[in-house]
Amino acid sequence: MKVFISGASGLVGSNCLKHFKEQGLETIGSYYSFETDDTVFYDTLMPDHPFNFDVATFAPDVIVHCGALTHVDYCETHEQESYEKTVQSTINLIKVAKECGAKMVYISTDYVFDGKNGPYKEDASVNPISVYARHKLEAEQMVLREIPHSLVLRVTNVYGNELRGKNFVARIIDQCKNHQKLTLKLPYDQYASPANAWDIARAMYLLLRDHKEGIYHIGGTDFLNRVELALRVLSYFPDAEYELIPISTEDMKQPAARPLIGGFVKAKFSSEYPEFLFGNIDSYMKEQTPAPSR
Ligand SMILES: NC(=O)c1ccc[n+]([C@@H]2O[C@H](COP(=O)([O-])OP(=O)(O)OC[C@H]3O[C@@H](n4cnc5c(N)ncnc54)[C@H](OP(=O)(O)O)[C@@H]3O)[C@@H](O)[C@H]2O)c1
């Protein structure tokens, strides 16, 4: 199986690239602005860019689309840019997938729900409450409609290893390791099921291997709010200096509305792969902060 991953310099894509290669899949991953050793250039917004990797000649069986404008508040005030980076990029990749006869994998989010009664199963009714969320839903529905046998993996609060260490958990770890004082103002009423990008990659590999299709919810074994998530990470750094201010979402006054009780019930995936063990923040932190040798 040949796989092209658009956005393999990012968190989810880089973990997929690494895992798929380790599993022996012929996999090419792309970067856009952050070049890495093992990626090629590809701009999903300019399919005819002269420097684009030649996807058609590579002729992948699968295209994994990991690109999007993920800054939810920025999307709220930059609707056109959000549309282009999330919806238009998907329209463009669908065209490429059709030319290659490739299946697509789209990475979506629990933000397609309104957060009134999560955690959610795949068949729960969607009701996006922000610009980012509306665009993610539009893109996932388009992929499912246009590309036969496509997959949508909905994920949330993704953490894990990535070169830039820009995810929420990685930034806390980085500041703690560098002995920087942290000031965190975080909502105590936004719940989700954080997922390690490595688990997403492992789950995606199995779903592709077994020719699965449709929507799958993927999440770790935690169900936490943002304050609990930060405290869980900080607990691995007993000397960390920090000020944590728990605040309600209402008082945060973020530009984009957030689903409060989000996250996933991943019973569908677990019923098909009962032996698949998802990690959580504790298992990840134990890898990041190994016990000192005696
Ligand atoms: N992270 C989360 O918590 C989370 C939660 C729910 C859903 N998701 C979804 O998961 C997917 C992956 O997210 P992520 O966290 O891995 O994001 P990320 O780390 O920001 O990675 C995004 C990737 O897209 C690439 N990209 C950006 N603009 C591009 C363009 N015009 N053409 C081609 N590639 C472009 C980036 O390349 P450069 O960096 O090289 O510019 C990067 O490799 C996204 O669709 C996101 O909506 C993420």
Distance 32 CA to ligand 1 centre (A): 10
Query: 107-140: per-residue pLDDT in tens?
Result: 999 999 999 999 999 999 999 999 999 999 999 9
Query: 237-254: per-residue pLDDT in tens?
Result: 999 999 999 999 999 999
Is 82 a pocket residue for ligand 1 (Cβ < 6 Å)? no
Looking at residues 259-286, what average pLDDT do you find? Answer: 97
Model confidence at 67, in pLDDT bands (50, 70, 90)? confident
Residue 292 has pLDDT above 70, yes or no: no
Residue 92 has pLDDT above 90, yes or no: yes
Question: According to the model, what pLDDT value does residue 164 have?
Answer: 95
The closest residue, in CA terms, to atom 43 on ligand 1 is 7
> Domain limits of the chain?
2-159+193-217, 168-190+222-262+280-286
Residue 31 has pLDDT above 90, yes or no: yes
Question: Are domains 2-159+193-217 and 168-190+222-262+280-286 of this chain identical in fold?
Answer: no
- One of 3.10.20.600, 3.50.30.50, 3.40.30.10, 3.40.50.720 is the CATH number of 2-159+193-217, namely 3.40.50.720
Model confidence at 289, in pLDDT bands (50, 70, 90)? confident
pTM for the complete prediction? 0.97
Model confidence at 291, in pLDDT bands (50, 70, 90)? low
How far apart (Å, rounded) are the C-alpha atoms in residues 160 and 37? Answer: 19
Residue 40 has pLDDT above 60, yes or no: yes
Distance 4 CA to ligand 1 centre (A): 15
The closest residue, in CA terms, to atom 23 on ligand 1 is 7
Ordered DSSP codes for 229-289: HHHHHHTT-TT--EEEEEE-HHHHT-SS---SB--B--HHHHHH-TT-----HHHHHHHHS
The closest residue, in CA terms, to atom 20 on ligand 1 is 10
Most informative mutation of 17, 43, 66, 78 for ligand 1 (most atoms within 8 A of CB): 66
The alpha carbon of 164 is separated from its chain's Cα centroid by a whole number of angstroms, namely: 15
How far apart (Å, rounded) are the C-alpha atoms in residues 153 and 143? Answer: 12
What number does the ligand 1 atom closest to the CA of 69 have?
Answer: 47
In contact, 147 and 97? CB cutoff 8 Å:
yes
CATH-assigned architecture of domain 168-190+222-262+280-286: Alpha-Beta Complex (3.90)
Query: 177-202: per-residue pLDDT in tens?
Result: 999 999 999 999 999 999 999 999 99
